[in-house]
Amino acid sequence: MAGRDYPATWPAFRRWFPDEEACAAYLAKLRWPDGFVCPRCDCRDAWPIAGGRWMCHRCGRKTSVTAGTIFHRSRLPLTSWFAAMWFVCAQKNGVSALGLQRVLGFGSYQTAWAWLHKLRRAMVRPDREMLGGPGASVEMDCTFVGGRSPGTKGKGGVRYANKAEVVIALELRHPTGFGRVRLASIDSQWRKDEIVDFIRANVAPGTTLYTDGDKLYHYLPRDLGIAHEPIVLVSAGEPAHRLLPGVHRVASLLKRWLEGTLHDGQATTNLDYYLDEFTFRFNRRNSSRRGLLWYRLAQQAVATTPHAYRDLIAKPDPYT
């Protein structure tokens, strides 16, 4: 509830989190809603020690509220982290690393870029519910993103950089409307196998799956437990977006977001994390409070393991 669980507006946000102690206390409530729990022995008996940490009464382990989260060993204060999360969620189309650097006054672009990627890794819960279910319907199709920036020249001419294929699955609501979405990048070389794996991981058994007339869907394994309904073009002049309107609308919104916010600068190696951010925003598009998005992101941030910078970059340098 706005005003009780999270701040609803920016002025309220500033009143809620004026200093580091207020931020740490809020994280403690999110991480341990029923009281402190030792990450080593699950003991609930502990006492506070210097530096805002706790010492477990049973095993003696010293831990902090940020240990084991995306805030782990951060050199910058939690007030900056909270503000960054607010700006990411308050903007409908998100924020670029350069924009975040300018707003928060970071000394380097690298810091803003790393923070955004850490937050993206917290935007999707690993235990999220699958799409559809008995009696439900899901549309699915593939699209290509990127490819606007010229890359290297090859025998066939200019090869465009960061072009990748993305599979999209979207819930249909009856009688009208759309529900949640799932996206993932796939390797066109192993397209069939990766699409089957995507369906297995994201579409619940008992779902009616609507796709185009691609032949690869004719050989879907029976153990998926789905009812496949291919939609084939009746005539050459009938546009595909009329037969599968949901996924084509999502594909259009995705490309517009990548171009408008990231300026098509996403690397293919990190594309899935950009897709996670788009999924986080799309599935919460009807939220009346931007503070609620911040609250959900904060909840997932304390449940997400830390990621070092060398693990975030596309081509880690072993000498850095």
Sequential DSSP letters for 181-242: EEEEEE-GGGHHHHHHHHHHHHB-TTPEEEE-S-GGGGG--GGG--EEEE---SSTTS-HHH
Total residues found in the chain within this entry = 320
* Structure-block tokens of residue 27: 């994280």
For the ranges 59-63, 78-82, 136-140, which has the lowest average pLDDT? 59-63
Residue 196 pLDDT level (bands cut at 50, 70, 90):
very high
Q: Nearest 5°: phi and psi at 119?
A: -70, -35
Q: What is the pLDDT of residue 159?
A: 53
167, 183 Cβ separation under 8 angstroms: yes
Q: Which CATH superfamily is domain 137-285 in?
A: Ribonuclease H-like superfamily/Ribonuclease H (3.30.420.10)
Task: Give, as one character, the DSSP assignment of residue 128.
Answer: P
Q: What is the pLDDT of residue 161?
A: 66
Average pLDDT, the chain: 87
Kindly state the average pLDDT of the residues 272-279. Answer: 93
282, 290 Cβ separation under 8 angstroms: no
Residue 165 pLDDT level (bands cut at 50, 70, 90):
very high
Asked if residue 227 has pLDDT above 90, the reply is yes
Percent of the chain residues topping a pLDDT of 70:
91
Task: Give, as one character, the DSSP assignment of residue 179.
Answer: E
For the ranges 79-83, 209-213, 263-267, which has the lowest average pLDDT? 263-267
C-alpha torsion angle, residues 307, 309, 312, 314 (rounded to 10): -160
Residue 320 pLDDT level (bands cut at 50, 70, 90):
very low
Give one word for 31, left, alpha or beta, with left for phi > 0 and alpha for psi -120 to 50. alpha
Q: What is the pLDDT of residue 60?
A: 86
Domain ranges, ordered by start, for the chain: 10-126+302-312, 137-285
Q: What is the pLDDT of residue 169?
A: 97
